[in-house]
Amino acid sequence: MSTLIELKSVARHYTGSSGTVRAVDNVSLSFKEGDFSVLAGSSGSGKTTLLNLIGGIDRPDIGEVLISGISTQGKSESELADLRLNKIGFIFQSYNLLPVLTVYENVQFILQIRGIADRLHNELILPVLKRLGLIDLKERFPSQLSGGQQQRVAIARAIVLKPSIVLADEPTANLDSDTADSLLDLMQSLNHEDRVTFLFSSHDPEVIRRARTVIRLRDGKVIEIENR
């Protein structure tokens, strides 16, 4: 299986009035096609900081992050944005949907940023909305959806361009346990049947139970990697 993302001795520090926080401390990891992995750890252990480094939203102070073999180091903001748009899908805890756009338009927005011709939009978007059970909701606005439905739109948006990997920061945090379960069923079946690669951050035991690789973090360090 090909390596999608590689971290080599990566560190990220924050310096504030109370001193320096080592949010990510000497982390080396790699992620490959087909993975279904979770970064697990208590609040403040560095999960979000690490996901942002992995996704090229942020760059390390020390070490190197390679996305499809391309280092994020020395890349301009627009080069990084291109790399992200082509390779990485993001799902955020708070969904980050645009409230003035419908379900369809929220997904379409990504295609517009990429400059994909309008005539191709339906054939890209409709199958994804069908796959995620959103087709009958496509004209609704986010405020007219449940939390679980909004999170499904966020997944649709993350996968519509068939990224190499989808990064999801605490995807179940705002959902009740039944909704979280069905969302995880969906992501597992996307992983099995559509070969979508996922990396989560979570402290939700159910997410951790279902992951095939559990990377445990404490104080910014990887303390254990469990492969199942």
Ligand X SMILES: Nc1ncnc2c1ncn2[C@@H]1O[C@H](COP(=O)(O)OP(=O)(O)OP(=O)(O)O)[C@@H](O)[C@H]1O
Interface ranges with Mg ion (CB under 5 A): 47-48
Tokens of 96: 């980050």
Query: Could you tell me the smallest distance in angstroms from the CB atom of residue 124 to ligand X?
Result: 32
Interface residues with ligand X (CB under 6 A) are 14, 16, 21, 23, 41, 43-49
Query: Could you tell me the smallest distance in angstroms from the CB atom of residue 223 to Mg ion?
Result: 17
The residue (of 48 and 150) whose beta carbon lies closer to Mg ion is 48
The residue (of 129 and 168) whose beta carbon lies closer to Mg ion is 168
Q: Indicate which of Mg ion, ligand X, none lies near residue 41 (CB less than 5 to 8 Å, by partner kind).
A: ligand X
Q: Is 93 helix (H, G, I), strand (E, B) or coil?
A: coil
Q: What is the DSSP string of 25-85?
A: EEEEEEEETT-EEEEE--TTSSHHHHHHHHTTSS--SEEEEEETTEE-TT--HHHHHHHHH
Q: Indicate which of ligand X, Mg ion, none lies near residue 214 (CB less than 5 to 8 Å, by partner kind).
A: none
Which residues have C-beta within 8 Å of that of residue 53, sequence separation ≥ 6? 7, 10, 12, 24, 59, 60, 65, 72
Q: Indicate which of ligand X, Mg ion, none lies near residue 43 (CB less than 5 to 8 Å, by partner kind).
A: ligand X
Query: Could you tell me the smallest distance in angstroms from the CB atom of residue 166 to Mg ion?
Result: 17
Rounded to an integer, what is the distance from CA 142 to the centroid of its chain?
20
Query: Could you tell me the smallest distance in angstroms from the CB atom of residue 48 to ligand X?
Result: 3
